[in-house]
Amino acid sequence: MSTETITHDVIIVGAGLAGTWAAMIASQEGVKDIGVLSKIHPLRSHSGAAQGGIAAAINNVRPVAGTGPRGPLEQIPAGDSAVDSIETHVFDTIKGSDWLGDQDAIEILVSDAINIVYEYEHMGCVFSRTPDGRIAQRRFGGHSVPRACYAADWTGHMLLQTIHEQALRHGVHFYSEWYVLDLIIEDNICRGVVAMDVLTGEIHTLHAKAVMFGTGGYGRAFKISTNAHANTGDGVAMAYNAGVPLMDMEFVQFHPTGLYRLGILMTEACRGEGGYLTNNKGERFMEHYAPDKMELAPRDLVSRSEQIEINEGRGIGPDGQGIYLDMTHLGREKIEERLPQVLEIAHNFMGVDIIKVPVPIQPTAHYSMGGIPTDAHGQVIADAEGNPVVGFYAAGECACVSVHGANRLGTNSLLEASVFGRRAGYSIAEFIKGGAELHPLPSDPGKQSSERIKHLMDDSVGDNRESVAEISKAMKAMMTNNCGIFRDADGLQAALSNVKQLQNRFQNARVMDKSKRFNTDIQGALETENLLAFSEVIIASALARTESRGAHSRIDYPERDDENWIKHTIAHKNGGELPVLSYKDVNINWEKYPPQERKY
């Protein structure tokens, strides 16, 4: 296999919001030689699937006085006082994170929110509007006021189209359908990546002064997931294999409303617009779990409540594993205007008309709070002391800044990808313009990747051949059963030995398709290997954390333990052994936002 070397000043892996913002800004700041690689067409990045909204305290709407917490919203008349503030958004996010988010980073996220939303608007993003033409806002779980700016239920699509156009305008070069297999770091200096041009099957080395990952999330490690097929956490696995630690990987968010058995997302905006959750007795059971916020409590709490209803026999559907999401009282007009995509998805995938009947849903893996640790400038850090990996940046869902801590609030993630993608763009530009060097590559950098592919195509294993699809299926079922919404030591121990067995079985996994061009079989195998690599980190980190916090819920340790566990998990690879765990302090402003009981 040829291993041609391509050189750029900057290589960005990922063309979602995080990667594209970074590329656009770095280019605008004068760095002209930028290549962005994406394993799928850039506009098919998962950012484009986001439905519900992007949070910012822009104060355009408020609840109508006297109508209660779920009543209608109205635009705030010019001159009337604001309902929202940066401080309220910061506090909601900290509380949502169950006090594991870094409060300095959260303040940056929230302060930048307002100008990033207006920047999108000025670039031409078609937001939904209030009657007088301002950007409309809706309610979202865990946010104490309506703060989600949206474009019907196509928000991510609109944002991604907008920023992609701007990147093209700034001359950013996109490598569409290039699959990155390997990250080159030597002596703690990042030097480039190794990638396969999916169309030709050729392996290339991309040599750069700076590399940024905006590779997105890893919800595909679970059986039921809202995530696109591409969300296999390649970036986190590559970083981990190259010696970079992973942070807070035990915190995986389960969204309360994925379509029953399929997992496809019914956006939280369904509940934001007033949808109810009911069990098989027709009860709005959230009144037992979050009497104040009801269905608009944060996702970890709502998903757990649903799972308890299901486990205690009050679920719906033939196997009792579902719950009803009821929007029939919202009326045709509101649903068609605000939730057109949801209407279509429920119809196409379930044959359900949500205007007339409730739609069956269930909790579904959705978002990865953990990832590659970075500072607030997108600079990747190498250890708990905060030392940098020179020339390596990350932002968006693959990174962990950490603004979401143990649980993310809906609409804070499009925000995170935009805000920290943009910030990474500025710091990359500064790094390059400050005289960053092109450090030499190791000899034959593409060799390992070429050999991996050769190995997967080699048929000498005969009858010992293992099927990639079966290994992947077994792993996803195991992650869902043993490392899902509820966890305990026995289940996690079993999961650890199970993932090791699956990694061993993978040694004999082989692909059927031996061709070079568009070999999706090979890509699927490499992705499965990545899933197996970081799933072990999720399990090991979850086993070590003997408390319940945010999305990490241990039935054997049901309480939050602030005495011992207000700290970030840092996991380093340790050859073939279990990851080595160390811990890093959480940035807390003890006077302003000290930990409190988390009630909704």
Ligand X SMILES: Cc1cc2nc3c(=O)[nH]c(=O)nc-3n(C[C@H](O)[C@H](O)[C@H](O)COP(=O)(O)OP(=O)(O)OC[C@H]3O[C@@H](n4cnc5c(N)ncnc54)[C@H](O)[C@@H]3O)c2cc1C
Residues taking part in catalysis = 299
* Euclidean distance between CA atoms 324 and 360, whole angstroms: 5
- CB-wise, 340 or 558, nearer to ligand X? 340
Q: Pattern of binders to ligand X over 187-216, x per CB under 6 A?
A: ---------------------------xxx
Residues 145-164 that bind ligand X (CB under 6 A): 155-156
List, in sequence order, every residue forming a beta bridge with 199; answer none if it has no partner: none
**Identified binder of ligand X from the candidate list 97, 227, 341, 535, rule CB under 6 A:** 227
Q: Near ligand X by CB under 6 A, which window of 44-52, 315-323, 327-335, 537-545? A: 44-52
Q: Which of residues 446-465 bind ligand X (CB under 6 A)?
A: none
Distance between CA atoms of residues 190 and 253, nearest Å: 30
Do residues 269 and 147 make contact, with C-beta atoms less than 8 angstroms apart? Answer: no
Q: At what angle do helices 489-506 and 520-544 cross, to 10 degrees?
A: 150
First to last CA, the chain: 58
Alpha-carbon distance of 24 to 19, in angstroms, equals 9
Query: Which stretch, 75-83, 228-236, 315-323, 534-542, contacts ligand X (CB under 6 A)?
Result: 228-236
> According to the binding rule CB under 6 A, does residue 230 interact with ligand X?
yes
Closest CA to 261 of 343, 370, 166, 359: 359
Contact status: 142 vs ligand X (CB under 6 A): no
Q: Is 96 in the site for ligand X (CB under 6 A)?
A: no
Residue 425 in the binding site for ligand X (CB under 6 A):
no
* Residue 402: cis peptide before it, omega within 30 degrees of 0: yes
Q: Work out which of 52, 141, 371, 425 binds ligand X, going by CB under 6 A.
A: 52
Nearer to ligand X, 451 or 459 (CB): 451
Residue closer to ligand X by CB (options 235, 391) is 235
Check binding of 168 to ligand X (CB under 6 A). Answer: no
Q: Which residues contact 330 (CB under 8 A, 6 or more apart)?
A: 273, 274, 275
Kindly state whether residue 39 participates in binding ligand X, applying the rule CB under 6 A.
yes
> With binding defined as CB under 6 A, does residue 298 bind ligand X?
no
Q: How far apart are CA 343 and CA 348, in angstroms?
A: 9
Figure out which of the listed residues 205, 226, 257, 541 binds ligand X, where binding follows CB under 6 A. Answer: 226
Give the range of 38-46, 306-314, 468-476, 575-583 binding ligand X by CB under 6 A: 38-46
Which helix (H) or strand (E) is 324 found in, with range?
strand 323-326
Which amino acid is it at 380?
V
Q: List Cβ neighbours of 525 (8 Å cut-off, separation of 6 or more).
A: 456, 468, 509, 511
Residue 213 contacts residue 372 (beta carbons within 8 Å): yes
Please, what's the largest Cα pairwise distance for the chain? 76
Tell me the site size for ligand X, rule CB under 6 A.
47
234 binds ligand X (CB under 6 A): yes
Number of other residues whose CB lies within 10 A of the CB of residue 591: 6
- Under the binding rule (CB under 6 A), the answer on residue 341 touching ligand X is no
Q: Write each residue from 364 to 383 as x if it is in contact with ligand X (CB under 6 A), else as -, in one continuous string.
A: ---x----------------
3-class SS at 254? strand
H or E element: which one contains 333?
Answer: helix 332-338
Q: Does 93 bind ligand X (CB under 6 A)?
A: no
The least distance separating ligand X from the CB of residue 531, rounded to whole angstroms, comes to 12
Q: Is 396 an interacting residue with respect to ligand X (CB under 6 A)?
A: yes
Binding region for ligand X (CB under 6 A)? 13-19, 37-40, 42, 45-47, 49-54, 155-156, 178-180, 214-217, 226-227, 230, 234-235, 265, 367, 396-398, 410-415, 417
